Amino acid sequence: MAKFDLKSLKAEEFINHEEILETLEYAESNKHNRELIDAILEKAKPKKDEAGTHSVGLTHREASVLLACDIPELNEKMYELARQIKQDFYGNRIVMFAPLYLSNYCVNGCTYCPYHYQNKHICRKKLTQEEVEKEVIALQDMGHKRLAIEAGEDPVNNPIEYILECIDTIYKVKHKNGAIR
Ligand code: SF4
């Protein structure tokens, strides 16, 4: 089995089964550790200096402890801090993302999803780069500035290279409302 390496770009190294199990165990054994939870919340607080507001972020193990915590007053503290972080970074803005479906080919079988591979009743479609460009222009004409791209998981029809090519095409579109951010 591949060794856990958080900074690796290889999925099998940064998504590691043993590390997931150990993290869950760590969360379970620390979910009532008030001292640790307070220290994690302190770390999560945004810091303000002349460069602006920034946050160091939490590790996955720290986040797992917060997720497992079931002490009401600590959870309240967590919600309050989350509200404060949201306010500091985004204020009262609501950021909208328009979904752009690139491809409905998929090899998976999620039962709630019509794109699952056993569904033989839908037409499978993968956008060409020209079609991606037209969709982006249409969405920009509607006033959208941010997109959430969607695609099924299919290493043959939608390999990561296809997704990267689409992202490249999307960013290259310069249209009257500006460009996708
Ligand atoms: S498109 Fe996504 S949600 Fe739908 S079957 Fe594939 S992996 Fe599951």
Encoded amino acid at 36, one letter = L
Question: What are the angstrom distances between the C-alpha of 18 and each of 3, 4, 65?
Answer: 9, 8, 17
Residue predicted with more confidence, 53 or 149: 149
What's residue 157's pLDDT? Answer: 95
Q: Are 90 and 126 in contact (CB under 8 A)?
A: no
Annotate 63-95 with DSSP letters as a single string: HHHHHH---HHHHHHHHHHHHHHHHHHHTT---
Q: Whose CA is nearest to atom 2 of ligand 1?
A: 152
Please tell me which of 43-47, 52-56, 72-76 the model is most confident about, judged by mean pLDDT. Answer: 72-76
For ligand 1, what atom is nearest to the CA of residue 109?
A: 5
What's residue 101's pLDDT? Answer: 97
For the chain, percent of residues with pLDDT exceeding 70: 99
For ligand 1, what atom is nearest to the CA of residue 117?
A: 5
Read off the pLDDT of residues 91-133 as tens digits, 9 standing for 90 and up. 898 888 999 999 999 999 999 999 999 999 999 999 999 999 9
| pLDDT above 80 for 177 | no
What's residue 26's pLDDT? Answer: 98
What's residue 6's pLDDT? Answer: 87
What's residue 140's pLDDT? Answer: 92
pTM over 0.85: no
Tell me, using a 6 A CB cutoff, whether residue 110 lines ligand 1.
yes
